[in-house]
Structures are given as structure tokens and as C-alpha cells.
Structure 1
Amino acid sequence: TWRLWPSKTGIVFLFIFIDLKPGDSGLDWSARKRVAFGAAQGLEYLHEHCDPKIIHRDLKAANILLDDNFEPVLGDFGLAKLVDSKLTHVTTQVRGTMGHIAPEYLSTGKSSEKADVFGYGIPLLELVTGQHAIDLSRLEEEEDVLLLDHIKKLLRENRLDDTVDRNLKTNYDWKEMETVI
């Protein structure tokens, strides 16, 4: 079940931890994994345990809220759609945040659990890289504004090491990181 939580400091948004400069403290790998798994569990709950199931349609770092213990809770259901559990998708006008929208949803207007899973993958990449889904400053060095395209380029160039947030230094399990990427 989902819960509301009392918070002394208020809700913390995940994206605050994504734009840190080298040397700044941020979430360690253990906390980032907790956020990733918690968000995945939330998405599973929406898709598998709600009737009708809920398609979020705008899963992004800004919609993953963290409590005082950095436990994640999915938020902002303004674009969400209720879908009969027997249906595989809902056809709608495309909505969501650029850089997080699944290509098949963008081209067909058919939103589904799969599109939500694609959207979930972008905050995962943000957690690993410490970068935003869209970063215009990358244009100074390359053509890839979207984080996903940037990561694909690094993978093609066998530069997987360059994808990991430098603020993590070496304080992470490489196999876990590789699995997430």
C-alpha cells in the first residue's frame, strides 16, 4: 500500500541530486539503488495491483519524491490514465516530458505499461550518470542533447566507464552499474 508520510523537512525531489558539481555530496550508490528499486516497485504496483491499472505517462526524476529517509514515492498523476486490466494500451493524445517519452508512444499515440517502463529507464540513467535527461550544454562538445542518445553513443564507442557519475568515484558495484545501464 502507498502511504503519506510526515516530513520535518518537506518533500525532496530527486532531480535536486542530479545536478551536482564534482566534489559536492550527493546520493551514494546504495541510496540510488534504493530509489531505483522503490520507483520500480511503485510502477509495478500501478500496473499489476491496481484495478483498473494505472499508466503514469510522465515518469521522470521530478516525479519521484523522496521522504526524509530517501524512500521514493511516485508523484504527479496529472497525465495518468486508468486502463481496464484486460487492455494492453490506451490511445491518447501524446503527453509527457520530452526526453522521457517512449518512441512507440510518440509515433502511435498508444500509451502502455511498456511506455511507462521506457520512461522509468530515463531516471535510471540519470541516477547512474548524474546528468539530466535533456542537457543543452552537451551541444558544446557533441550533437546529443538527450541523455539516452549520449549513453548510446558512449556504448557504441565502448566507453561504458564514462557513463558513471564521477561523484560516485569508485564507491559502487560495477556489475550492478552495468546491469542498470
Structure 2
Amino acid sequence: MNWRRFFCCCCSFEEKDQIGENKSRDYPWEIYTLKEILHATNNFHDDNKIGEGGFGSVYWGRTSKGIAVKRLKGMSSKAEMEFAVEVEILGRVRHKNLLGLRGFYASADERLIVYDYMPNHSLTTHLHGQLAADCFLDWPRRMSIAIGSAEGLVYLHHEANPHIIHRDIKASNVLLDANYQAKVADFGFAKLIPEGVTHMTTRVKGTLGYLAPEYAMWGKVSESCDVYSFGILLLEIISARKPLEKLPGGVKRDIVQWVTPYVKKGAFDRIADPRLQGKFDRAQLKSAVMVALRCTESNPENRPSMLEVVKWLKGGVEIRKVVTDIEHMLEEDGDNETDTDFQGFRGLVQNQNSFKVKY
């Protein structure tokens, strides 16, 4: 996309100060006026704020269908780039499991991105936040969310042209609509992969606990990095445990370290979120855990594609081979509960200043 033309287009709409949603012939989204967004969000009132992060804040907006508005804080070159990347990528993608772009507003000192409002908030809110105690996510819903998130990644990795690596798959970036259908969101760190390119080396961005080892240590990014992050997310959905937890003495333990001893003992019931009160399909639980472990293998070449992950989560016949392979791998490890393949990476996790990431 020609970004000079893109921002000229934005400015021309702003100068006209049109009321109502403006559709450009060249772009599939809508260009809003600042007046419209201020009216919908009650001048970005704190009562309308529904989220906040390093990028800025997200506000609920009152319209006929309801909108969410991401307001980037500051106009740094980093914020400018994340805005441009997100609008570019969201303008390209159309899938039921990806949060779609409704529109945007751009001026000299404001960058606003408009999305559909997701009434059931983020996955984090249900697993660890204010809605966690209510346990709205029963087992069928959890598996539906896992499969929906995986299908969104299949679209990015295999159907979008060029292919897209998300680079920040995590629970807070999975939003839930009125029917608890998963919508993968936040494409500010995403990378477009040119035809024929298998991996790239780039500055590390993402969230501790979800980063693939080769990406965290060397900046090597590929689709398999998203696969690793999805494996962590899948374990989080199953167990409602956070990807990283602090143990006494300041030592951090990741979710793979926590789950592995239970898998070795066959104690899969101990992995499931206690709030489910045993109401889950035990065979499906075991299969999902095994799929997650395949996704989080330390060697990226041994990880499956997201196409395979979706097939396995839906109960394809090959899932039995996945379970057998993981069981065989764990038997070869013996009784040692520490996966030595991850020691180097976990050493980095102990020191959060070892590399710069988004929190």
C-alpha cells in the first residue's frame, strides 16, 4: 500500500468534516470523523474505557451496533508504525475468527482504530479477570474458542496473501462476541511474509510466556512461532493457569513445566481448570493437552502447522498418533520433570530485561 496516498486520503476526509461513515472506493473500511467518535465515546470518558495497554486505551462507543475504539497514546514513530501495520493488515483480512476493522480516524495528533464491539470481552477476563469466578466458559465453549482461534490462524498462515504472522497470540488478544465465538485481535506486531520466504529475523516483540524460544533468543520469526504461542494459549484455556507464574524465591515457572509432570503420570484431570468441577470430556482433554505439547516443542521443525492443529482439535483420526508420539517422548525423558530443551530459554525468562518485549 502507498502510505503517503493513504494518509492524504485520511486528511482529505478530515478537512471535509463529513458526518456519517465515509466509504472510500479504494479501501474496504470506513473513515470516521473525530466528531463522530467523540460523540460515540462520550469524549473518551473513563466510564467508556474497556481496556488499556502499552499502545494506549480502548473505549466502548455507542452506535447502532456498538463499536470499540483503540486510541493510540502519543505520536511516536513506533505508534505510527503499529497503527499503519494494523490498518493495513485488518483491511486485508476477512474471516469469522478475526476481529474485523470497521474504520479509522487519522490526523496530525490522533490515531484511532474502530472495531466491532465484543460484548463478552477478552479471554483473559474469563480466565483470570473479573468474570473468572462466574465460569461462563464451560468445556464445550473452551474447545470452541480454541478451535476458532486456531482457524483464525489458519487463515493468516495459509489463506491470506501474502501470509501473515501475528507475533502476539495471547489470551488478551482473543475477544469473544455475543455467542462466545473467538475473534483474534491486535495486529500491531504482525508481519507480512513474502512469497517463498520461510522465516525472517526481526526485533523481538510479544509477551513473555508466549514467545517461542528461537524467537525470544534470536529473533527468528516464522509461522511456527504463532504455533508455539497457540500451544501455550491452549494450555491456558484448559487449565486457567497463567503462562508464567512466580514461585517462592523469585523463580518463574512456565505452564509447560507445570503441566509436564501431570502428563507423565497420566493425571490429566489435575490439568483441567478446577472451576469446571470435573465436567469435561476426558478423552478430549487428553487430546487437547497432547496437541498443545506438540505445538510447544522446542525445535520449530517438529511443531505442526495450524492446519494440522485444527484437524486434531476437531478429532481427526491422526490425533491418536499425536498422543502416542508425545507419550513416547515423555517416556524417553524418564522421571526428570524438567524439559532440558527449554533451559536456555527459561534462563532468559528469569531476567525480564534480557530482551525487550511488549507487556
The TM-score by the shorter chain falls in which range? Answer: 0.7 to 0.9
Distance 1:22 1:84, change over 3 A: closer
- Alpha-carbon contact 1:56-1:116 (below 8 Å) kept: yes
Q: 2:126 aligns with which of 17, 31, 35?
A: 17
Q: 1:35 aligns with which of 120, 145, 152?
A: 145
Higher strand proportion (structure 1 or 2):
2
Q: CA deviation at 1:29?
A: 0.5
* Alignment partner, residue 94 of structure 1: 204
Amino acid at match of 1:175: A
CA distance in 2, matches of 1:89, 1:11: 35
Amino acid at match of 1:35: I
Structure 2 length as normaliser, TM-score?
0.46
Amino acid at match of 1:16: T
Structure 1 length as normaliser, TM-score?
0.87
Q: Which piece of structure 1 moves more, 99-108 or 68-77?
A: 99-108
Amino acid at match of 1:169: Q
Distance 1:82 1:174, change over 3 A: same
- Does residue 1:110 correspond to 2:203, yes or no? no
- Alpha-carbon contact 1:144-1:150 (below 8 Å) kept: no
Work out which structure has the larger RCO, using CA pairs closer than 8 Å and 6 or more positions apart in sequence: 1
Q: CA deviation at 1:53?
A: 0.5
Q: 1:169 aligns with which of 277, 295, 298?
A: 277
* Alignment partner, residue 268 of structure 2: 160
* Alignment partner, residue 148 of structure 1: 256
- Alpha-carbon contact 2:125-2:132 (below 8 Å) kept: no
**Any gaps of 5 or more consecutive residues in structure 1?**
none
CA distance in 2, matches of 1:84, 1:23: 44
SS of equivalent residue, structure 2 residue 200: strand
Identity of aligned residues (%): 34
* Alignment partner, residue 236 of structure 2: 126
CA distance in 1, matches of 2:132, 2:173: 25
CA RMSD in angstroms comes to: 2.5
SS of equivalent residue, structure 2 residue 208: coil
Amino acid at match of 2:272: V
Q: Which protein has the larger Cα radius of gyration, Structure 1 or Structure 2? A: 2
User: Alpha-carbon deviations, 1:9-59, whole Å to 9, x = none?
Assistant: 735100111127997423000000110000000000000011111000110
**Any gaps of 5 or more consecutive residues in structure 2?**
1-93, 101-114, 290-359
How many residues end up aligned between the 2 structures?
A: 178
CA distance in 1, matches of 2:189, 2:144: 25
CA distance in 2, matches of 1:179, 1:31: 16
Distance 1:32 1:141, change over 3 A: farther
CA distance in 2, matches of 1:143, 1:109: 24
